[in-house]
Structure 1
Amino acid sequence: MSLFFATSVNAGSWQQNVNIGGFNNVHIYTPDSSSAIGVGKSLLILLHGCVQPINNYLTAQLEDAAEQHGMVVAVPDAMNKAGYSCWSYWQGTKNRTSGDYKNLINLANAMSGDASRNIDANQVYLAGLSSGGAFTQQAGCVAPDVFAGVAPSAGPTLGTSSNGALNNCEVVTPTTFKSRCESYAGSYSAHLDTQIAVVGHGTADTTVDTCYNQQNANGYANVYGVSQLSGSTTISDGTGHTASETLWTGNRVAMVWFDGLDHSWSGGAGASGDYIASNSINFASYLGQYFSDNNQRVDRNSGPVITVLNAVDNNNVLAISGNAIDDDSSVTNVEIVITDVSTTTPTAVATINTTAATNNGYFSADSTTLSDGLYLIEVRATDDLAKTGDTVSITTRVGPEPPATAPQMSDVTVAVSGQCATISGSVLESKPKLVIS
């Protein structure tokens, strides 16, 4: 099986070297588009690798991913570097108030809390390469309430030592991974129940042992309580670049192998820079789609849909019927509001609550006896999750059409100038005008 995704045209803009959330330098790309789910835009915070300046990500084709998925991308420069300008995943205390863990939480909250950025706090994600990948895992466990999805790429497993990074597979069992992650989360561990993870690694990586890809996936699977599914999917970006995807139940975990990729961020066609590669798929674009498709925290329930709405006059009683369908759950109530719009001041005359058939959503109700006139019927339904769908309306007349009346003239004036007379005034049609807001 194969999956194809395309690229897009850039339209947003970069802000460079922004001081925000405890970081002195953050590159931020803001797209013109919005996320296909939730409210506003999503946010992907991307962590660099060792000896890798954040400027490299300005040429990593992140703009394509951002525009495709309505995803703001923020690339912070680590404040507390260790070793070869690495994110110091093997040093210090791993909690919400220490070092760059604190800074990442502050960065995420500062950006999602800024109304002008229009970022959905339920769509904040964290990804990273190498040491940034390892730090992604740990920060995602430290603050699972903040990060709805995590995506380490070519990163050593959660809690490994610095010696475990280079050409050495430091074994971490799924049980140990789960124990470490939950201990980092502490009182926030319940939020792991709605977090999702993607792990990625290049098949040609000779820097960080490729054993970590499966090991990381197995660790997240144990944290989330899911099982690996059989088979894999080939992902193509349409330029000949491919990757292999393996999933776990509920799409809570995905494991991606970048075909032919070395120890680099997979930027896709056109990407360039140190530790930024162009010979595999655009990983950020993949993440934008995967997170959008599988986010566990966004309310995807759109509420019931009203169709085939009818209202028939039967001796000044309206027989109202239609269908109320909810694909996600069941309809618990159908509300019908009847408004007399025969006059310039519409007046609500009745509200009827009824139910819909469970097999086909059919509902019907009769109004009380109504006076002759024009009526607006508005219907909306609510499901068993208390989600109300869009209101659907029609207008219908009760009784005969009113007799035609001649237009009325008023405020007639005549102004004479020489041999000419100018006549002015107002002509009004007495037929009521329907106004629906």
Structure 2
Amino acid sequence: MTEATALTRAGRLAEATALIQRTLAGDHPVRVVQGEIVVDEERLRDDPPPVQDAPDGLDDLVGTPDQVRRSGPSTPDLPGETLHRVHQGATGARPYTLYVPTTGTGPRPLLVMLHGGTQTAADFAAATRMSEQAEEHGFLVAYPEQVTSANPMRYWNWFEPADQRRGVGEPAILAGIVDEIAALHEVDRDRVYVAGFSAGGAMAAVLGAAYPDVFAAVGVHSGLPQGCATDVGSAVSAMSSAPGARPLERPVPVIAFHGDADTTVAVGNAAHVVEQFTGCPVSGDTLVERDPGRPATRVVVRRDGAPVGELWTVHGSSHAWSGGAAGGSYTDPAGPDASAEMVRFFADHPRRS
């Protein structure tokens, strides 16, 4: 780790990443053996892989120690069914957790939730309390999990060219998880959504851009627009400078949350996400007061009079899921409830051909 830190400070980020990957490869249930992915499903279920500690000197990538909580709230007991599965597709395999609520009838909506770096699926479910929203509103919610063989810090590789396009890499794996769930459960394919936090938010943007025929709308919390980076170095630059990105060829409804005290990912990225996905400028605002709690500014973006995007700036919040569970991984309980607001937004935006 000392050598990796020295490489990072010298600006040799690719070498530092490779060294960390070799050092932290460790023992995990999804691995590559002679070019083939091998999944130990029984051990994955009984012994989930641990979260890796953040190496010294990489706080700008993974957050400060007080933000990364190794223990936190557990997901409350809910009446629905929690399933643990591993999806194996042509481009790779990933474990995921699926919550199936007792509410709702017929084909139900599906929400895919993508965790941030250093988090697990269980961390993210507990932090966002999205399974509680699923039980209340009657939709399925899936939590795919990144594996340390793909990224030692559990980042979704949103910045890699091979993981930014349709039909390849992690986007294809995650879209395959949607197809797998739809084959096993009654899913309303016009109401499939994806949301994520930090690296997961950036990957949610990748999925929305690559699969507009699959995902009806996207939620990006503390993330970045699709296509703003092509490697680790440009990812770090985008996180700090918010360079923006080109509008999508096919607009997709989007809701973005970001804290204006975020020192990990610049708050300007959120506006660029909304502009990229809606093709419309972000203008106007409404102050949402919370007493007690953090105020936020909400901008509703409209096209031909219809709302197609929302930008929420949470004042005083850092790199954390707004309104998340107290003590959770990367959460700010004082902020507006991002989970509830995303569910509301998604409910108003089924996929339209």
What is the aligned counterpart of 2:111 among 44, 48, 54? 44
The SS at the match of 1:134 is helix
Cα RMSD, aligned residues only = 2.7
What is the aligned counterpart of 2:276 among 184, 195, 219? 219
Matched, 1:280 2:346: no
Partner of 1:109: 179
What is the aligned counterpart of 2:120 among 50, 53, 66? 53
The whole-number CA distance in structure 2 between the counterparts of 1:232 and 1:129 is 23
Matched, 1:246 2:299: yes
What is the aligned counterpart of 1:86 among 155, 176, 193? 155
Partner of 1:25: 95
1:323-334 → structure 2 map (5 Å cutoff): none
Deviations 1:366-411 (A, max 9, x none): xxxxxxxxxxxxxxxxxxxxxxxxxxxxxxxxxxxxxxxxxxxxxx
The whole-number CA distance in structure 1 between the counterparts of 2:285 and 2:228 is 29
Which one has the bigger strand percentage?
A: 1
Shift of 1:274: 2.0
The SS at the match of 2:346 is helix
The 1:258–1:165 alpha-carbon spacing in structure 2 relative to 1, beyond 3 Å, is: farther
Partner of 1:98: 168
The whole-number CA distance in structure 2 between the counterparts of 1:53 and 1:264 is 15
Matched, 1:75 2:143: yes
The 1:85–1:220 alpha-carbon spacing in structure 2 relative to 1, beyond 3 Å, is: same
The SS at the match of 1:252 is strand
The 1:272–1:44 alpha-carbon spacing in structure 2 relative to 1, beyond 3 Å, is: farther
Matched, 1:142 2:210: yes
The 1:146–1:12 alpha-carbon spacing in structure 2 relative to 1, beyond 3 Å, is: farther
How many equivalent pairs are there? 265
The 1:53–1:86 alpha-carbon spacing in structure 2 relative to 1, beyond 3 Å, is: same
The whole-number CA distance in structure 2 between the counterparts of 1:157 and 1:96 is 16
Q: CA contact under 8 A between 1:258 and 1:280: conserved in structure 2?
A: yes
Consecutive unaligned residues of structure 2, counting only runs of 5 or more, are: 1-75
Partner of 1:168: 240
The 1:157–1:19 alpha-carbon spacing in structure 2 relative to 1, beyond 3 Å, is: same
Q: CA contact under 8 A between 2:321 and 2:330: conserved in structure 1?
A: yes
What is the aligned counterpart of 2:264 among 201, 207, 212? 207
Shift of 1:45: 0.5
**Normalised by the size of structure 2, how large is the TM-score?**
0.67
1:289-300 → structure 2 map (5 Å cutoff): 289-297=344-352
Consecutive unaligned residues of structure 1, counting only runs of 5 or more, are: 1-8, 183-191, 299-437
Partner of 1:312: none
What is the aligned counterpart of 1:258 among 314, 336, 340? 314
The whole-number CA distance in structure 1 between the counterparts of 2:321 and 2:86 is 24
Shift of 1:296: 4.4
The SS at the match of 1:198 is strand
Partner of 1:66: 134
Shift of 1:295: 2.7
Which amino acid letter does the alignment assign opposite residue 168 of structure 1?
A: S
The whole-number CA distance in structure 2 between the counterparts of 1:12 and 1:288 is 20
Q: CA contact under 8 A between 1:149 and 1:197: conserved in structure 2?
A: yes
Which one has the bigger helix percentage?
A: 2
The 1:102–1:14 alpha-carbon spacing in structure 2 relative to 1, beyond 3 Å, is: same
The SS at the match of 2:246 is helix
Shift of 1:134: 1.1
Q: Which has the larger radius of gyration?
A: 1
The whole-number CA distance in structure 2 between the counterparts of 1:81 and 1:279 is 34
Which amino acid letter does the alignment assign opposite residue 318 of structure 2?
A: D
The 1:202–1:112 alpha-carbon spacing in structure 2 relative to 1, beyond 3 Å, is: same
Matched, 1:15 2:82: yes
**Normalised by the size of structure 1, how large is the TM-score?**
0.55
1:298-377 → structure 2 map (5 Å cutoff): none
The SS at the match of 1:215 is helix
The SS at the match of 1:263 is coil
Matched, 1:34 2:104: yes
Shift of 1:148: 0.4
